[in-house]
Structure formats: C-alpha cells, structure tokens
Amino acid sequence: MTAISVRGLRKAYGPLEAVRGVDFDIEEGEVFGLLGPNGAGKTTTVEILEGYRSRDAGEVSVLGHDPQRPGRSFRERIGVVLQQAQLWPNLTVRETHSAFAGYYARPRDVDEVIELVGLTEKRDARVKTLSGGQKRRLDLGVALVGDPDLVFLDEPTTGFDPAARRAAWEMIRSLRSLGKTVLLTTHYLDEAEQLADRVAVMREGRIVRIGTPRELTTGGSEVEIRYHLDGEEVLLRTSEPTRELHRLTSEALARGEELDRLEVRRPTLEEVYLALMDEQSE
C-alpha cells in the first residue's frame, strides 16, 4: 500500500519557486528520507503533506486524504515533529503527553510512550528544565501519543551533539519496528544513509536522484580506477576491480610502462551527493 503519493507538486512564494515539480511515492512502513541543503524545498514539501500549506499544482495523496483539506480523520493518523516547535514550558513531561493524548480518539498509553522515547526518569520534570535532546524526544513522544500511522520528522537532529544524534537515530529506528511510515527530512548525509530505506535528493525545488542509499552511490559496488595515459586522465568504472586492475597492470608490464598516477577508489555517498549538487547548478 502507498502511504504518500506526490505527482507534479509545485509551490511558489511570490517570485520564489520553492518546489518545482516533485514526484515520489512512499510505501506503508517505509522510512523515506528527503535529503538536501537548506532552501532545497524539503520543508515546503513536507508542510504541504502535513496540511499546513496549499499547493499551486500537482496531485497529492496522504493516507488516502488530500492534505489541502485536512479533516479530523487525517489529523488522527499523522504525527508531526516540527523543526523549531516548543511546548508549554511549565507543564511536566507527563502532563504534556496527557494533553496531547486527549486530542486523539484512540491514544496510546501515556507512560508507555514516555518510556519509548526514554523520558521515564524525567516524567515529572517541567519541560523548560529539559536539555535540547530531551526536548526533541518530548516532541517525538507527543507526535507518537496519538498512535499515528505516519510520522513526519523535519530535521530531527539539527543542532544535536553526536551522542544525542545516536540516541535519536535509535528512536527513529524503533519507529520502523512499530510499523510506522516515516518521512524524514535532513541535510545530513549520514543520517539519511543510516535511517532511510530510500532517499530522495532535493535541490532547488526538484528531486535530482531517488533510490536506496546504496543505489545512490553509483550503482552500489562500482569502483573508480584512474590513471594517466599520454597526459590524459583515463577513468574506468567497474564492479570487478580485481580483474580490471589485473588486465591493466599486466598490459602495462608487458609494454614495460608505468601506469601514471594510478588510483583505485570507491565514491562515498558524500561525493555522489556533492557531485549531484554541482551538476545541477547550471
């Protein structure tokens, strides 16, 4: 089953075209990452899907609903973690969860959710006393308390220290094991690589590449071999580097030549990503 389907989505703010024709599908139970630099149109895309913004053109279906007319039954089934939202500073962790639980027809058990996001020890602490990482866990907790089928996470670890990021990643992985569909935006490559089943790379309002993190690294197992011949660089991409190297080196030995500036390397996701960012900026 398809949880989210987007076709030809467009959105402009005045003269600024934030989203310029975006297509993708997200299957139920999938963790889908929207990756791209700031200003690529990720948040605009997600906020259209969440029901915050209208679209200028395109077809959008989220859990069978048109988010442009978000009804109560739509709100019942989504959970949202916004980039910069705060919660009431003077309520406790438990009171905050209970407040949100009350908005939903079939909420999860509040204490269970608090345990899931690892705030059991802080359940009676006021929100304003929580650390940044704990506040993000609270955001996730209140997003889960309504037992949604689909969870939107907008840059869930921006500004985290490495330990807090690891903890957040663990939690997002646990969403998958709960069977939730997750749409995650991030500008961190490693985050997309670690968490997402599939990644769409966005740039300047368009999706420039879509696939599993492995597919994105040029077909997965390909290796680059470079050397120079008569002053010209030769670049070979191969999935059989041993055989290819053997051929090259035996030929060179037979000719009694050195393979000038020989180099063998595998492109990282980062290089693929940066190359994508460069090649689009015409």
Say whether residue 147 binds another protein (CB under 8 A): no
* Nearest distance, CB of residue 146 and another protein, angstroms: 7
Q: If residue 207 lies in a helix (H) or strand (E), which one and from where to where? A: strand 206-211
Please report how close the Cβ of residue 163 comes to another protein at its closest, in angstroms.
Answer: 26
Contact 12, 61 (CB under 8 A): no
Under DSSP, the state recorded for 104 is: S
For another protein, the closer CB: 8 or 102 = 102
Tell me which residue has tokens 């690891």.
Answer: 166
The type of residue at 110 is V
Tell which one of 24, 100, 160, 227 touches another protein (CB under 8 A).
100
113 is an interface residue for another protein by CB under 8 A = no
Nearer Cβ to another protein (78/171): 78
Residue 52 in the binding site for another protein (CB under 8 A): yes
Secondary structure string (H, E, C) spanning 15-36:
CEEEEEEEEEEEECCCEEEEEC
Rounded to a whole number of angstroms, the minimum distance from the CB of residue 181 to another protein is: 16
Task: Give the Cα separation of 158 and 84 in Å (integer).
Answer: 10
Q: Which of 88, 219, 240, 243 binds another protein (CB under 8 A)?
A: 88
Strand-strand pairing, 181-186 and 150-154: parallel
Member of 49, 78, 130, 192 binding another protein (CB under 8 A) = 78
Half-sphere exposure (Cβ direction) of 102: Cα atoms closer than 13 Å: 6
d(CA 237, CA 2): 35
User: Coil, strand or helix: which one is 253?
Assistant: helix
- The nearest distance, CB 204 to another protein, in angstroms, is 19
| Whether the Cβ atoms of residue 267 and residue 217 lie closer than 8 Å to each other | yes
From CA 74, how far away is CA 105, in angstroms rounded? Answer: 12
- Least Å distance, CB 280 to another protein, is 25
Of 102, 132, 159, 219, the one binding another protein (CB under 8 A) is 102
Helices 93-101, 132-144: crossing angle, 10 deg rounding = 20
**151 is a contact residue toward another protein (CB under 8 A):** no
- Using CB under 8 A as the binding rule, whether residue 37 contacts another protein is answered as no
Planar angle of CA 172, 51, 98, nearest 5 degrees: 55
Tell me how far apart the alpha carbons of residues 138 and 117 are, in angstroms, rounded to a whole number: 7
- Does residue 240 bind another protein (CB under 8 A)? no
Please state the closest distance from residue 87 (CB atom) to another protein, in A: 6
Which CB, 95 or 244, lies closer to another protein? 95
Q: Does 250 bind another protein (CB under 8 A)?
A: no
Does position 51 bind another protein by CB under 8 A?
yes
Residues that bind another protein (CB under 8 A): 50-52, 72, 75-76, 78, 80, 82, 84-91, 95, 99-100, 102-105, 142, 146
